[in-house]
Structure 1
Amino acid sequence: MSVYDISLVDEGVTVPDVAAAATAREIVRATGLPAGASPGSATWASRAVTAHPHRAGSTAATVFPGSGGERCLPAAC
């Protein structure tokens, strides 16, 4: 049994490591939430997808994956 159903995916987004790390730092500074590369990647991808002109005015809900960023927090701040 698999939890991931590829038929539900509209598109995939490749996120550069540097962008994921920078976005994670932005999340930590702006919200105080512990965030590592996974939430950074998810947020960066959500922003990239909603920036397309055919999605103007749309809203994206972003789920922060991971364990809470405890391992990444010192590097993100």
Structure 2
Amino acid sequence: MVASLMRDGKPVTSSLPESGAGPLPGLRVTHDQRIEGTFALPAGATVRAGTVRILQNGQLRATQTAMP
């Protein structure tokens, strides 16, 4: 997951999980599935867009970008 942010008037890209946090748990999806969760943004950051990429065996299978 990648978040495009504005922080102190400058564009910033933040990847989740953050460095050193370890990998996200693997998900097994056989049909469309809604997955919800939360994460903390850096102080003073404003979200410009969020992108989720779904990989299967290292191959990109789907990408979705949302803008507020």
TM-score (normalizing by structure 2): 0.26
TM-score (normalizing by structure 1): 0.25
Flag the structure with higher helix content. Answer: 1
